[in-house]
Amino acid sequence: MRSLLAFLPILLLHTFVQAQSSPTPKFTVTPLNDQVLVHTTYGLVGKIPFPSNGLIIKTKDGVVLVDTGWDSDTNTDNTRELLRWVADNLHQPVRLCIVTHAHEDKMGGISELRKAGVQVVSTPLTARKSVKLGFESPEGILPNDTTFLIGQEPIRCYFPGQGHTSDNIVVWLPNQQILYGGCLIKSVAAFGMGNLADANLAEWAGSIRNVMSHFGTARIVVPGHQDWGDTKSLEHTLTLLEKHKATQK
């Protein structure tokens, strides 16, 4: 393990922020326990607001984000509001953001984080794909399986194989037994596979089983979108994949 940052202790809070003039909520912050919170921002799918999840991780030395707000290359309001919330309520700036794959719902706010002096990291593949999509590149320094230590809190970034995208990683918090599955994992509230534009349907199920073999002890699994809960979302993703496969025959 290697120490990356030094932060100050912060407090757990819960809030809901909504702009009066916006058709979608700006974001929500929801605690999972006294150290880990889910941040949720919204984008429009068609004309319907749709939630995208990420994590706020508290340690003895401060805060780490997993994924940015759902933003675009021309509008980073969600990530700006998220940073403002952290500063106003937790009284500490965000120092690090881990990007789990190169889609705008997960890395659209990179430019806003950079303005705030936040270090943004990803795998090398995600960094290259971000540039091709017209976004600022995160620092592509993460190996496919690496654990680092921030404020005595181990954070494991793991590439289980292709699925939703060719570069999707998951983030494991062993002390908390919390798995952030990102968009590789479908919520139990999901009825379909969602965006398959960059998907590898042939490998997705194998990647899920890889996650299950490594992190089957998880108490909470947070998918990239919609509701979260226990490990049922892993089996649910496999079920959705089988149903999708059947419709393609």
Q: Which residues pair with 155 in a beta bridge?
A: 148
Task: Assign residue 42 a region (left: φ > 0; alpha: ψ between -120 and 50; beta: otherwise).
Answer: beta
Indicate which residue of 39, 101, 225, 236 is catalytic.
Answer: 101
DSSP 80: H
Indicate which residue of 75, 195, 227, 230 is catalytic.
Answer: 195
Indicate which residue of 39, 103, 225, 236 is catalytic.
Answer: 103
Helices 201-215 and 232-247 cross at an angle (nearest 10°) of 160
| 225 annotated active-site | no
109 CB-near residues (< 8 Å, 6+ apart): 68, 69, 71, 76, 78, 79, 80, 82
Q: Which residues pair with 124 in a beta bridge?
A: none
DSSP 112: H
Cβ neighbours around 202 below 10 Å, total: 10
Distance CA 33, CA 52 (A): 20
| 103 annotated active-site | yes
Indicate which residue of 39, 164, 225, 236 is catalytic.
Answer: 164
Indicate which residue of 105, 168, 225, 236 is catalytic.
Answer: 105
| 198 annotated active-site | no
Q: Where are the beta strands (DSSP E) in 70-224?
A: 96-98, 119-122, 139-140, 145-150, 153-158, 170-173, 178-182, 220-223
- Scanning the chain, the segments in alpha helix (DSSP H) are 77-85, 104-107, 110-115, 124-132, 201-215, 232-247
| 39 annotated active-site | no
| 167 annotated active-site | no
- Three-state DSSP class for 198? coil
Distance CA 97, CA 62 (A): 12
Task: List residues with catalytic annotation.
Answer: 101, 103, 105, 164, 195
